[in-house]
Amino acid sequence: MVRAYFDNNASSPLMPEVLEAMRPTLEGAHGNASSIHQRGQAAKAALEQARANVAKLIGADASEIVFTSGGTESNNLAIRGIVGEWRASHPSATALPHLITSRIEHHSVLNVFEELERLGHPVTYLRAASDGRIEPAELQLALRPDTGLVSIMMANNETGVLQPVAEFAAMARAAKVKFHTDAIQAVAKVPIDVKALGCDLLSLSGHKFHACPGVGALYVRRGVRIQAMLYGGRHERERRAGSENLPGIVSLGAAARLDLADNARLAQLRDRIEQTILASVPRTGVAGAGQPRVPNTTDIYFDGIEGEALVIALDLHGFCVSTGAACTSGAVEPSHVLLAMGYPRARARASLRFSLGHQNTADEIDALLAILPELVQTQRRLVLPDAAPTLARLA
């Protein structure tokens, strides 16, 4: 039985060359990067080489990269760091700054804004259109004289839809407002130049592009001040205390050097999945079709099924897919992203995300497409047994 992993937006497997790069740090060849002895300095050199690699990947300067424990911490540090710095610099303020985000953000952004709203910050949540795009006019209308931060993701983790981040950043800059983008699902999938984008802060996470879990980074534009969330040593230029996760950071630096030209192949495989399913399985559609998307991601609805049941059926046949974000899988509620795009609840529940990685092959796609139509038909019979004859004719 073919076993194929199509859930790379949840976590992508460690690539062999990445494992090889981090092996010396796992075998004790390095010490603590803050130590001045030989092993400590070897660790420091490895750390700074990884920092340079990550910076080059997104067009930043190495001094603008802050290593973190992953995407959730990067997003929290960006948002809470800006808000905390504002509070520290306005000790006598009687009103808290207005904040802007969107309804389709990852929960590591949404939940932070909801907490800040509970603490008294006015928050505006921008709407997404039915194709998953947030129109720049929405942001323009939301900006206020008291706005202190805008945070809008670059690529959605469920649909893969890319937002016009450069336009958003330009609007924020014109209003003298800090702009953060969660680029966790975009880094290493599309070209990124933070200086061309004009963002102040950008989050990324290693295990989304074949580094190991537990490591990420936050780009902080030179001159932008953030308040630290962790206190201790003077690590990461006093922006993130704690001994660095050297094996993870080295893996992140190695993954940042992977060949991005392979993304064109992933786009072809993604397109073949979509075209074959739409042609062979009735009552299906692609979320965000027609909009720019990252090359590895597709979210497809299969009306008349329960998505979780189809995930289980595919797993039994050797294929790992998901119904959306990994941190919300198993939740009773359907995808908040698809609901925000106007999907009926039943359709949102009937949607599956296929996210590819550099390890995936054309043979794996062929095997998936050979079994999927039959599984969908079976699931539809189970959900709507009275409609089985009609569904069989449609198939």
Q: Which helix or strand (DSSP H or E) is residue 324 part of? A: none
Residue-level length of the chain: 395
Q: What is the DSSP string of 68-107?
A: ESSHHHHHHHHHHHHHHHHHHH-TT-SSPPEEEEETTS-H
212 is catalytic: no
Exactly one of 199, 212, 320, 327 is catalytic; name it.
327
Compute the distance between CA of residue 274 and CA of residue 115 in angstroms, rounded to an integer.
38
Count Cβ atoms within 10 A of the Cβ of residue 143 and give its class: 0-12 exposed, 13-18 middle, 19 or more buried: middle
Q: Which residues contact 88 (CB under 8 A, 6 or more apart)?
A: 227
Rg (CA), the chain: 22
Contact present, 188 and 255 (Cβ < 8 Å): yes
Amino acid identity for residue 150 in this structure: V
Counting beta carbons within 10 angstroms of the beta carbon of residue 192, is it exposed (0 to 12), middle (13 to 18) or buried (19 or more)? Answer: buried
Phi then psi for residue 71, to 5 deg, are -65, -40
Other beta carbons less than 10 A from residue 196's beta carbon = 11
Which are the catalytic amino acids? 327
